Structures are given as structure tokens and as C-alpha cells.
Amino acid sequence: MNKFALLTSIAAAAVMASVGMASAADLGPQPEVSYAPAPVYTPGNWYFRGDAGVGFADGSGGEAFTAGLGVGYRFSELFRSDLTVDWTGDYGSADAWALMANGYVDFAFGSWLKPYIGAGIGWGDVDQPGGSDDGLALAGHAGLTFDLAPQTELDLSYRYRTISVSGPDFDDHAFRAGLRYNF
């Protein structure tokens, strides 16, 4: 019986081995496993902006602190627009507020640097020694935008602004630095 038990064990092992080989053969070639890359964050079209710098008034020769806040929308890689409120401090004889609607054309010269030009129209208020006066405000913009992070851009800009008031118009120039946060 020992021989019989030995032969039975060998036969059982041979059957088990052939079943395992048949199962593996039935699976066929296995597909390669591939993993999708992690999704890359792309900011939305809306943005907040904040700027500060120094302004120079035409005629008075004075200089003053200037700052602004705004919210904007990017329509395409080429065109964006925003609404801003700007304040320029005391030039010695005047300070000014302006609410502006601005449009910009961005020129992408690489992925991290974008020069731009723009124009704005709105309403401004000028406080002078003789009193306060308000009127149509126009602005011209030029600047450079640098990508700091996927959602944040550094904006270095020049702005010319004129506000139509009684008497000579209020004209000033500003050099500003700011941040735009895209969401």
C-alpha cells in the first residue's frame, strides 16, 4: 500500500500542477498597468487684484502714495478686464479717487512673463484746496506680469490717468507693484 499511496500522491500532484498551468495559460497576456498623472491645478478666469506705488501729479511736481483694489475676469489668454477703485494720496494740493472699468491685452512671451497694455474709463473725484470736483476719468496702462505660483501673479505697471474737472484737468502718472490672485 505504500507504493499505492506514493503513486496516488504523485498523480494528485501532477494533476494539481497541470490545473495551475492551464489556469495561467487561459489568462492570456496581461495588460500593462498605467497610472494617470495627478491632475494639474488650473486657476479659474476670475481674479482679485491689489496694487500700491508712487504717483506723480502733472503741474504740481508732487508725489504721493497710490493704491488700488479690483476684481477681474480673464476672457482668453489674450484679453482680460477688471473693475478697480484707486486712491492717490495728498500731492500737496490735491488727492484723487477713481472707479474704473479697464481692459487689457496680454502678450505671452513664455509661460512666466506677460507684458500687457490696457485702457480704462470711469469716474473720478479730486479734492483740491478750493473744494471737491468730479468728472470723467480715463487711464492708459502698460506693465509686466510674472507668474509666482499657479494662482498668483506679480504685476509691475505704469498708469497714466486724467480726470476731467472744472479748471485744468487732474493728470497723474503712477508706478505700481501688485498681486493678482486667480480663482
| pTM of this prediction exceeds 0.85 | no
pLDDT of 158 higher than 90: yes
> Could you give the CA distance from residue 130 to residue 98 in angstroms, rounded to a whole number?
19
The pLDDT of residue 29 is 75
pLDDT of 119 higher than 70: yes
Domain boundaries, the chain: 60-182
Provide the CB-side half-sphere exposure for 78 (13 A, CA): 0
Dig out the grid coordinates for 173 from the structure: 502718472
> Could you give the CA distance from residue 78 to residue 57 in angstroms, rounded to a whole number?
31
- Does the domain at 60-182 match CATH 3.20.20.140? Answer given as no
Count CB-CB contacts under 10 A for residue 104: 22
Q: What are phi and psi of 165, to 5 degrees?
A: -130, 170
pLDDT of 21 higher than 60: no
pLDDT of 123 higher than 90: yes
Q: What is the pLDDT of residues 62-91, one digit of tens each?
A: 899 999 999 999 999 899 999 999 999 988
Q: What is the pLDDT of residues 134-145, one digit of tens each?
A: 999 999 999 999
